[in-house]
Structure 1
Amino acid sequence: MKCERIFIALVAASTASPIVLHAVWRPLGTAAGAFEAVPAPLLTLIAVLSPLACAIVLAAFAGRPAGARATLGAAIFLAGAAAVAVGAPRGALLPLVPPFAAVLAISGLGLPWVARRLPASLDGVARRRRVAAGLWAVLGLVVVLQTARLSVFMADPSITGASLLPRSVFFVRHACLGAYVNAAELSRQGVANVYREPRASSGPAASQLPPTIDVGPFMLEAYQYPPPFLLLPRFALLFTRDFFILRTAWFAVQAGLLAFALLRLARWIGGEEGRIAALLSPLAWISLPSFLGMQLGNFQITAIALSILAMIAFEARRPGIGGALLAFCVLSKLWPGLLVIYLLAQRRWRDAAWVLGSALVLVLASLAVLGPGPFAAFMSYQVPRLSSGEAFGFMSKSIAALVGNYSVFGIPFKLAALGVPGMSPSISSSLSWRYTLVALGLAVIAARRIDDRRLKACAWLALLSLGALRAPFAPGYVLVSTQWLMTLLAAEARSRRAVVALVVSWLAISTMVPPTDPRVALPLSMVAQGAGFALLSWSILRRRRPVTASRPADARKAALESAA
């Protein structure tokens, strides 16, 4: 086992360790009354350094049978010493045992397990491709540091300097999870219309609902999703009503599902292209849309991951799993329904039937748990507000919201802010429905023009992005699937021009901060929208590429299908 594989495993372990530690520590520390006694940055530092120490031990014993045992021994020693040194003086020794045990498992067992299972072709790559290896090492370091930083803020929201955008009051004090949990609690109390504004927001008090969950310093916003999604927060409320415990746990769930989906898709693609996708997956993980979505706790990130896992399940002939996952995403966010159109266009009636059947079961379960009130309120109250944009009234009042809205619906609002006459919500609605027809057409084309696994994955991600842009309000985190798509397109970037174009596009989405002057910011925002739509359309409409020789089984399958 060479150092390259150990380093990659170290990046994975050091990324996962602080997330898991805080997810375990937050409920235990809160129950023991010791949470505030142990600083979150200190625990995060231990969670990052423990895998590093174990990686050094594993590298020292590389090639020896005792390497795994020595690594586990080092992890046990470090976990025990850290628990005593940190917990004993603060009266938190026993509550800290389970979180440090989790770090022990990741460092002492997970790290060598991952290193052993990485492909042997990575050995010696640091000598063969020094520039690429050096760039990936820097990327890995940034991934670990940024994830650790965000873990601190997700564990303790009072440490605002650790948030992704610490100077933005909105992003520091915004948590979508609060709307989910508050609406779930309202439905549990028998409130039919869970879509009215919470009383903490601005507006006439008579039309608002009282808050049912203490979200601390965070803003409590209105719930916007269809009723079946409430099954998820209702399930979470069975365990605790502490919003901060739920927030830390939800961050771990979202991060885990996104990481699993990134790697699962790369493995499913296989071959050299799959290895490239796996090595570039940290770019999708660390991007601004990804981290922003996880910090806010928006379901968008998880919906994208679950939708991709659903499509992989369909390809693996597991329609029950695929149908359940995709049905929940469609009933929660609606826009993943483009993947159902994709299945129907391919005449995969069985897979589509599983989605429909699973959706029916979920709707019946929602009716049984929530009652008919939220469904009636959604159709009579919320759908008209979504269609007119009233549900996102802040969009027309804030330049920042307009600039950050990548949806087609928001384009007339941007033009109105620039002084273009005649722009109105009715034009936005008309434009959105025309866009819907285009997106449906692209879904049908995508279903008929795909001939290898990577191109299928590109089509899925493009359709998810196109669907997300149909929503009335599509903030930056909806672009996660677009950046994920870019990591797959990198496999065919053979020229320097193509590489530069991908890098510039990724940086534009991840790091570009729009100027404060609306006369500059709004046009730039619309240019970015147009460029994004062009990229997504191109990834579907371009000519088919022959099946690669690295997957002969796929080539034989394609030949048999064309002969049939």
Structure 2
Amino acid sequence: MNTAVRKISVERSVVAALTVALGWPMLASALAGFGLSFAVALIVAAVPFAAAWLPLARRLPAQWDGQRRGHGLASAVLLVVGLLAIARLLGVAWYMADAKHPEFSAFWFDPFYIGHSCYSAYWQAAELAREGVANLYDTALYTGSVDHIKLDEFMYLPQFVLLPELGLLFGGDFYSMRAVWFGLEAAITMAALWSLARWIGAGVGRRAWLLIPAVMLSSPILVTLQVGNFQLAAIAMSVLAMIQFERGRNALGGAMLGFAIFKLFPGLLGIYLLVTRRWRAAIWTFAFSALYTAIAWLWLGAHPFEAFFHYQAPRIASGEAWAFLEIPGLEWVSALNQSVPGLVLKAKILGLDGMTRATMGTVAWVWTAIAVVLTIVAATRNASMSRLERAAVWVAVLGLATMRSPFLPDHSGLIAPMWLWSLIAAATVLTPRKTVLVVLGWLVCTAVIPVGGIELPEVHTRIVLALTIQVIALALCVWAVLRKPRALRAGVPTRSWQNDDSTTAAAADDDFFSLDTTKVAT
């Protein structure tokens, strides 16, 4: 038995190698942010990941052993996707560590994405807060640039400034902190993908694990990591929090969701917690949000909060904060806008009358109500859901919530649909027809439309193309939420599907990372 346990198959060795290699660029980028050259950072970062390879290979499920012989084509495809994901992450990490190499960026051909950084807004806001400016939301303070990267406007709640402020404590400049931010956000994303696959467990969880490289290779993930938008980390932290709540670790989950909620859209999961009567989880989330707020007030002072309520909040309520969407010549921005209220401006460009800012506001609140109702419907079925179904609902609810913002770039809007695609694909018994649908689904969910650098269709055609992608992504999230759980469809008693503290739940986790080669997962 000891020999059987110690023997590691080629399959587990390769999967473990790909897994640790996906994390390698993240650590290298972060180390480069602390002053190492990227080449040296790669060497240093390789040490802990090389050390983790063998232990991880031993822990991976024995059910993978010998699979390449019966699934040669699928194994080859997964290997190629894994290698491509590592190569692309290495390229983006290199660009984040050294801005002189835009040829390795996610969209190396697009001047806009090469010069755009959402993180620049966070960094500038933190700098302004340290200087004690009266209004860190003043748009006039975000008109400059850092070399070839234009400053973005800061639109988040004041509490969010705590994160970039922590970075400034190390004394780094914009470029060094940008590299660290990339490593941090990528690590949070990978941790969430790994944790969710492990929590789901059994065969579906194993297949979700194998599809992680396909998710990391996708344009929504790569582009969002490059521009540094917190949207990706907020979604990942929210899912991690829900897993912790399921495991009874309410304080840890509350610490995660309590911060992610400052991005506002994860608040929809707060409604989910209340409907499912997860009172402790909701209380811990509120408590940590209050704690972070108190820390931000003591650290930053009252000015950022006063500026938000007296300056930024009215601009958000009136739509003035997104006035750039209506500037002539920037119709391409509306084309890549994946938000539901953004449909109004798409319709306006296509020639429909009555599409005003007030109409956008009305659509935003109507969609808010719809998203809340959909969340409540899903939450009432929570006890009847399998782990896979719960996971899919969490991701889908987050996707629906993100679509409420007046402006949602497609690279941010497709994050949740791409993750949801991986869960659906992992649970699909592939036939030739379903294989085609799975591949087409990945292509749609990865379809971030470039701004320039290559020949693109006219604005109207681009809007129709983007609208098609948006409708499919939206429909995917709505379907995942409204789809009746398998237990209800099959008439299985609700009790048998409850995973909290159950023997079935523990067995699922054991199956996924079992060292026992005699155990066979269902």
- Which of the five TM-score ranges fits, normalised by the shorter chain? 0.7 to 0.9
CA RMSD, aligned part only? Answer: 2.4
Among 457, 461, 466, the residue aligned to 1:516: 457
Q: Which amino acid aligns with 1:284?
A: V
Match of 1:472 in 2: 406
- Match of 1:4? 11
Alpha-carbon distance change, 200 to 444 in structure 1, aligned in 2, over 3 angstroms: closer
CA gap of 1:556–1:519, structure 2 versus 1, over 3 A, is: closer
Mapping for residues 87-166 of structure 1, pairs under 5 Å: 96=40, 100-107=43-50, 109-166=51-108
1:365 counterpart residue number: 295
In structure 2, the CA distance between the partners of 1:548 and 1:305, relative to structure 1 (3 Å rule), is: farther
For the residue of structure 2 that corresponds to 1:474, the secondary structure is coil
* Residue 476 (structure 2) aligns with: 535
Shift of 1:20: 1.9
Q: CA–CA distance in 2 between the matches of 1:112 and 1:22?
A: 24
* Cα shift readout 1:76-133 (whole Å, capped 9, x = no counterpart): xxxxxxxxxxxxxxxxxxxx4x7634322322x1222222221122121111111111
Deviations 1:422-459 (A, max 9, x none): 11000000000000000000110110123211100001
- Counterpart-to-counterpart distance in 2, 1:455 and 1:557: 12
1:363: Cα distance to partner? 1.4
Aligned partners of 2:21 and 2:280: how far apart in 1?
A: 42
Counting only pairs closer than 5 Å after superposition, residues 374-385 of structure 1 correspond to structure 2 as: 374-385=304-315
Q: Separation in 2 of the partners of 1:114 and 1:158?
A: 36
Amino acid at match of 2:283: A
Decide which of 348, 351, 372 is 1:440's aligned counterpart: 372
Give the length in aligned residue pairs. Answer: 482
- Structure 2 contact 386–485 (Cα < 8 Å) conserved: no
Partner of 1:418: 350
Q: What is the deviation of 1:312?
A: 0.6
Partner of 2:119: 177
Distance in 1 separating the partners of 2:495 and 2:194: 20
| Higher mean displacement: 412-421 or 454-463 | 412-421
Deviation of 1:392 after TM superposition, in Å, equals 2.4
TM-superposition CA deviations, 1:4-44 (whole Å, max 9, x none)? 12211222233322332232234234xxxxx5xxxx5xx2x
Contact 2:336–2:449 (CA under 8 A) maintained in structure 1: no
Between the aligned partners of 1:28 and 1:359, the Cα distance in structure 2 is: 33
Q: Is the CA contact 2:340–2:404 (under 8 Å) kept in the aligned structure 1? A: yes
8 Å CA contact retained: 2:417, 2:445: no
**TM-score (structure 2 length as normaliser):** 0.87
TM-superposed CA distance for 1:511, in Å, is 3.7
The equivalent of 1:502 in structure 2 is 438
State whether residues 547 and 555 of structure 1, in contact with CA within 8 Å, keep that contact through their aligned partners in structure 2. no
TM-score by length of 1: 0.81
Structure-2 residue corresponding to 1:167: 109
Q: What residue is the counterpart of 1:293 in the other structure?
A: 224
**Greater mean alpha carbon deviation, residues 290-299 or residues 374-383:** 374-383
Of 139, 147, 160 in structure 2, the residue corresponding to residue 197 of structure 1 is 139
User: Take 1:265 and 1:126, find their aligned partners in 2: how far apart are those partners?
Assistant: 25
SS at match of 1:193: coil
Give the distance between the partners of 1:325 and 1:200, measured in 2 at CA. 29
Q: Which has the higher contact order (CA 8 A, sep 6+)?
A: 2
Q: Which residue, 312, 320, 324 being the options, matches 1:390?
A: 320
* AA in 2 matched with 1:546: A
Measure, in 2, the Cα distance between the counterparts of 1:426 and 1:556.
Answer: 45
Pairing 1:198-213 to 2, within 5 Å after superposition: 198-199=140-141, 201=143
Q: Distance in 2 between matches of 1:102 and 1:547?
A: 48
Match of 1:17 among 10, 24, 33: 24
> Is 1:555–2:496 an aligned residue pair?
yes
CA displacement, residues 359-413 of structure 1 (integer Å, 9 cap, x when unaligned): 1112111111122221121122112222333222322231221111101121111
* Residues 277-286 or 305-314, more deviating: 277-286
> How far off its partner does 1:482 sit?
1.2
- Compute the displacement of 1:476 (Å): 1.8
Shift of 1:526: 2.3
2:424 to 489, 497, 514: 489
Q: Where in structure 2 are the equivalents of 1:331-346 lying within 5 Å? A: 331=262, 333-346=263-276
Instruction: Quote the sequence identity (%).
Output: 35
CA separation of 1:240 and 1:553: change in aligned 2, threshold 3 A: farther
State the SS of the aligned residue for 1:157: coil
Structure 1 partner of 2:517:
none
CA contact (8 A) 1:338 1:463 kept: yes
Q: Which runs of 5+ in 2 are unaligned?
A: 1-7, 451-455, 503-522
